[in-house]
Every structure is written in structure tokens, then in C-alpha cells.
Chains A and B, each alone.
Chain A
Amino acid sequence: MTEKIALDVPFMEVSGELCKGCQLCLAVCPKSVIAISDKLNSASYHPAFYTGADCTGCGLCFYACPEPGAIRVVKP
């Protein structure tokens, strides 16, 4: 699910199997750089994914997400 991304800019990634598709991360992202996949994961949720650019590494999506392991944000 995760796109290839450059390591010297901030990015977020979603662990597609742990995501429950609640969309709370989408709702809080100030840059609107998270989207929902058309595909289902094995738990039958449409997981979120990073659209690939312009994440500022603010971490808001991380705290909005209820799943401990679903989101990782890196701000170099």
C-alpha cells in the first residue's frame, strides 16, 4: 500500500493490515494527503494510505488513529 518515498522529507505510512478504515486520520490531516484504498484488507476494511507527497510530519494522524500500530510518521 505504501508508496516509495524519499527519506529526507517527512512521510506517513499505514500498515494496511492493521488499519480499520475508520477515516479519522483523513479527517484530521491538514494537508489532505491521506486517502482510502479501493481494495479490502484481510479483515475486510478499506485501509487508508499516504498519497505520497506533502506530508509535514505533524503527527496529527498518528494521534487521531485509535490503532496502536496502524500509522507511523517520520519527520527527518
Chain B
Amino acid sequence: MKTFEKSNSFYQVFERKSGPAKEATHYCPGCGHGNVHKMIAESMEELDLTKRTVFVSPVGCSVFGYYYFDCGNFQAAHGRAAAVGTAIKRTNPDAIVISYQGDGDLAAIGTAETIHAANRGENITVFFVNNAIYGMTGGQMAPTTMIGQRSATTPLGRKEDIHGNPIRMAEMLATLPAPTYIERVAIGNSKHIMKARKAIKKALRIQAEGKGYSFVEIVSACPTGWKMDPVNARDWLVNDMLKVFPLGVFKDESDNQDEDAWKRHFEPFDKAKVDVYLDRMKSAVGEIEPTVLPEDLNCKFAGFGGQGILTLGLFLSQIGMRGGHHVSWFPAYGPEMRGGTANCSVNLSSERIGTPLVDHPNVLVVMNQPSLELFEKDVVDGGTIILDSTVVEGTPDTKRLNAVMIPASDIADEVGTPKVANVVILGALVAATDAFTPEFCESTLRAIIKKKSLIDMNIEAFRRGYDFVKKA
């Protein structure tokens, strides 16, 4: 006896629905999504893959796939299903991952993810439901919309010279070396459907055997978006769509692949390993010695590229790290490696840091003229502004701010090279804020400065900056 009935890979009841027909889908009468769902469920069940399957629903009419398939489910942001599917597969190599996507999802907003997942040969299965329209949003033109086809956004019909031609995704992807299996099928008539069932099953089997990326494009129907009755819609699919989207196998390497050839093994997340790495990072600053911060520092350091602005930020962050504080360092610079403007934001806090950005610093370091005008007004009342008076002219608002004007570049030159002006500034900053003792900073600098021959010069520069403020 043979019975054709609802697959066990579907939920018995579709909780999404309210009202009496709780076992009915939310799709319009005659919608192709239902046919494709049935074929996928049937193959999952026949191949005994349901329990291992993770079905990634897209954005589009099929967004509620997770209400129907009784397997693992995910719902991806618009166009991202193949990327989400990649992550699921790589972290769960034994999962059978289905990326189910419409034409708007896969061939418009998600084109990049689609192409790159295929190009990497991810061992996932993509079912691409091409209904030549954005169904869900009310029938706008899709990349696959036919020339002449009317849609909400092409009311006079799609025109080649204005909107481009319908995209043939199967053919495009078949040019890539990695994909294992690419076929286009349809649901126009019974013959098509029987072929589509085979292709869907084959695609899933390829994945289950670890033979790589499989992609089945299903030319489908959207009677509502096309403004046709369901039976006419299928006829239009057969007579018109298939001229532009010919059926067939565009790539099939499945017989030339070894089993598990594309099964990628990834080390699972290992906390111990991460801790070892973090400890190594921390040990670079020397033994942690908890210190007390008089107040959190929210710093902005600004100047030209090449002045050591970013290094100044790094040094202060590392001193803070060694003092047991939460720190963040966030550089921002123009495209020039040298000479452009550069600034960086540094937070040192006794609590966790919400954002590395510093819009209203309580410490501003200014090492070039434009930065004074640009950032002075952002400093909080009573905040500290430190400027290198060798290179910056003008006086900040000393009523509102605690201003330190230090000829840092001149001092650095005396110490040995203007390059250590940033460390002179660091000394001045520590002195002006009393954030750390100079001895603590000096021992940290000894640990973090890689070039041993430069250590003494940097310590000297730090001292000179520190003393300049303290002895003023």
C-alpha cells in the first residue's frame, strides 16, 4: 500500500495560525512555497535527516518556515541566510543545514552572501524559490522579474534598458569552481514536480555525504504578486518563465567527490585556550598590581599621524591594564600613513566600558593646531587639556579647563629625539590627573617597550613631562 500524505517532518499543528484551520499554512492559495515545503519535508523524512536538520528561514513570505518544519530552526536577517547557514554548519558539522531563500532575499539583498557561500563550497544546501517577484512586500520587481512583467515598482513592465535583465543565479553560480551540484527545476506541472523532488533529495544527500555545496533553484509561482489565479499562474510559469529560466543541471560533481571531502572540522570554542592567549597578552604588561583610579579617564588624543598619538593611547591603556582596570583603545585616522590627522580615544575605568568612543573627554591631548579648535569645546567642564606648546599656538579656556601647556617636542628633542614627545605628554598627563604613581608607570614602560635600547630615553622623557607639571 502507498499513501501520499502530510510528511512527519512537518509539525502536526502550525501554531502560527489562529482560527479553525490550525493545520493550514499562511500562504496564499496556489503559492509555490507550499509545494516546495512539501518536497523538502518529504526528502528530509525519506533520508532520515529531520532530527539533524537546521532550517534557516529567510525574510520573505517563507519567513515563518520555523512554524512548519519540525527540525532545528533559525530565522536570518534579510539576505543573510547563507552566511547564517555557514556559521551553523561550521560550528555543528553534523547538522544538515538548509538555506531556504526567495529571489529578493537570495539575488538582491543577499547576493554577496549567496556568491561567497557558494564560492567557499560550504557544505550546505540552498533552496532558491524563484517566483520573479517580492511576494511578501506586495509585489515589487525582483532581480528575477521578467522583461515586460508588471510589478508594483515596474507598473509599465520591466524594461531591459532601465532595470536590467532577469538574473540567472543557477548559471552564474555554476561558473564557480567550488559548488558540487547546481540544478534548476520548476513546479509548473506534474512532470516538473517529480523532477524537482529528485533534485531536492539529491541536494540533501550530497550534503549528508559531506560532498559539498548544493543549490537547487525552483521556478515557483506567486499568484497574488502576479495577479493571476493559481492555475493560470502555473501556465504562465511554464510558458513564459521557463524561456528565461531554462531547466537543467548546470553543475554536478557529486560522483567525482569522495565522501566527506567537503566536511570541514572546526575546533570547538575552547575557553582554556582563549584564557592562555589573554594571559599572554596581559603578561606583556608585567605583573598585575591593582591600583586605585581617582576618577575614570575618558581621553581623546589628537594630532598628526606620525606623532605617536596612537602609541600614547596604547601606553596609557597598558598602564591601566596593569593597574587592573577596564580599558579601551580606539584609533581613528585618515587614509594617510603619515601626515594626516589622527586621534584615538582611551577609556580607563573601574567598571566595564560600554563604548570605546569618547565624545566628551575629561582629558584632551592636543598635538596639532586644528585639533585645538576641533576638540576643545567637547571637553567636560573642569576637564584637563594638555597641549604641546612647541607646535600648538593659542591658549585654551583656562577658566573652564585645567590647562597644561608643555613644550613637549622641545623637551623630547633635548632628551634625544622629538619622537618621544608623546611620552613627555604621557608623563604630564599622569602628573595632571594623579592617575598613577610615576614609579608604577615607569616599571610598566620598561615591560612594554619592545626595543630595549629605547627604554631609558622613554623613561627620561616620561620623567621630564611628569616633573614639568609637578614642579610648575
Contacts and interface: CB of A to CB of B under 8 A. Distances in A.
Interface residues of A, number: 32
Contact residues of A: prevailing secondary structure: loop
Contacts of A74: 1-4
A64 B434 CA distance: 78
Interface of B: 1-7, 10, 19-21, 23-25, 27-35, 37-39, 41, 68, 189-190, 193-194, 197, 223, 229-231, 234
Interface of A: 15, 17-18, 20-24, 27-28, 41-43, 45, 57, 59-60, 62-76
A70 B29 CA distance: 12
A66 B20 contact: no
A66 B38 contact: yes
A15 B3 CA distance: 15
A18 B21 contact: yes
Given A18-B24, A74-B1, A75-B2, A66 B193 contact: no
B34 A67 contact: yes
Given A22-B230, A24-B231, A63-B197, A68 B27 contact: no
A23 B230 CA distance: 7
Contacts of A57: 2
B20 A68 contact: no
A66 B6 contact: no
Contact of A68 (B19, B25, B30, B194): B25
A27 B27 CA distance: 20
The 8 closest A-B pairs by CB, nearest first: A66-B34, A20-B29, A22-B30, A62-B4, A22-B230, A22-B29, A73-B4, A59-B4
B3 A75 contact: yes
Contacts of B4: 59, 62-63, 71-75
A24 B30 contact: yes
B6 A68 contact: yes
Nearest to B12: A69
A49 to B, nearest CB: 16
Contacts of A75: 1-4
B2 A67 contact: no
B23 A18 contact: yes
A60 B38 CA distance: 13
